[in-house]
Amino acid sequence: MALFDTHQLHVDMKRDDLLHPIISGNKWRKLKYLFHDAEQKRCKTVVSMGGNWSNHLHALAFTAKELGFKSTGYIRAHPKQELTPALKDCQDWGMQLLFTSRGDYAQLRENTNWNRFHDQCKESYWISEGGFSELAVQGVMEIAQEVDKRYDYVFCGVGSGATLAGLTKVFPDSQVIGVAAFKGAEYLKKILNQYLKSHTNWHLETGYHCGGFAKVNSQLLVLAQEFETYHGFAIDKQYNAKVLMALQDYVSKGLIEKGSSVLWLNTGGLQGERTQ
């Protein structure tokens, strides 16, 4: 892109969106060891939670079907609403959809001690919203095996923070910038600080959510369209276009030194934009 050339930046995109047609982006990275663990614990059902367009539930339902697990998804939505294409797929792949009120969903989200559920319900394997866990981070860290260059900066989108955490741990010589896709992500800083302890090479950028999760603005739409026209493939607007917006802004504001090298992890997510 012209802006990057003017600032003599070297920007590479790692296309994890191409990992698999359905379990794409960071999804397989995050789910791989969780499914291993579920298998070892002899659980028959995997349980998780998400919204109407959840990439996480979509990948989880498909993986569960492929690996012979049952799956259950708690959905933050009204039971009488029409199913989104993402939820239709989940249902077609055998996921039991349990619709929950905002209040109940918030309570489920607070229950970060998932081991309690494992103990109570031995057959079910609980995976938190977005999959944040040590095992998910371990999967994300495997990205480094496919990257043979050193980068000054690594950029990625942020939901639960697992991807940012994994990249921070595995690229200690890079500054890792996670761009929050939703409003009010500041609370994640405390969680990540506690989790990442001595690792300080990360920053959670909360200023590019464009109004919140599943929200876009005209600037974001233009940016995503320009990207697609120039490069010949689309990026999702929920996570990756927001990363691009942040990256461009950082460059324009001189927050990234001339001549730097940048790795942008494309985490997929286009399924969430389907209208049918």
Ligand X SMILES: Cc1ncc(COP(=O)(O)O)c(C=O)c1O
Residues binding ligand X (CB under 6 A): 25-26, 55-56, 130, 157-164, 236, 239, 267-269
Minimum distance of ligand X from residue 229's CB (angstroms): 21
Q: Which residues pair with 96 in a beta bridge?
A: 72
**CA distances in angstroms from 216 to 161, 205, 213, listed in the order given:** 21, 17, 8
**Closer residue to ligand X (CB): 72 or 130:** 130
Q: Which is nearer to ligand X, 9 or 235 (CB)?
A: 235
Q: How far is the CB of 94 from ligand X (least distance, A)?
A: 21
Q: How far is the CB of 7 from ligand X (least distance, A)?
A: 25
Burial of 106 by CB count in 10 Å (0-12 exposed, 13-18 middle, 19+ buried)?
A: exposed
**Is 207 in contact with 245 (CB distance < 8 Å)?**
no
Nearer to ligand X, 123 or 186 (CB): 186
Least distance (Å) between residue 273 CB and ligand X: 10
- Report the nearest approach of ligand X to the CB of residue 196 (Å): 13
Residue found by looking up tokens 């792949």 in the block: 93
Toward ligand X, which CB reaches closer, 44 or 231? 231
Please report how close the Cβ of residue 163 comes to ligand X at its closest, in angstroms.
3
Residue 85 to residue 89: CA distance in whole angstroms: 6
Distance, CA of 208 to CA of 169 (rounded, Å)? 24
Crossing angle (nearest 10°) for helices 55-67 and 27-40: 40
CA 98/CA 201 separation, integer angstroms: 39
Distances from the Cα of 86 to the Cα of 22, 63, 97, angstroms: 11, 14, 12
What's the Cα-to-Cα distance from 33 to each of 1, 133, 149, 218, rounded to whole Å?
37, 10, 26, 39
Q: In this complex, which beta carbon is closest to ligand X, that of residue 55 or of residue 124?
A: 55
Cβ closest to ligand X, residue 151 vs residue 239: 239
Element at 193 (helix H, strand E): helix 187-196
| Closest distance to ligand X from the beta carbon of 205 (Å) | 12
| Residue whose CB is nearest to ligand X in the complex, by number | 269
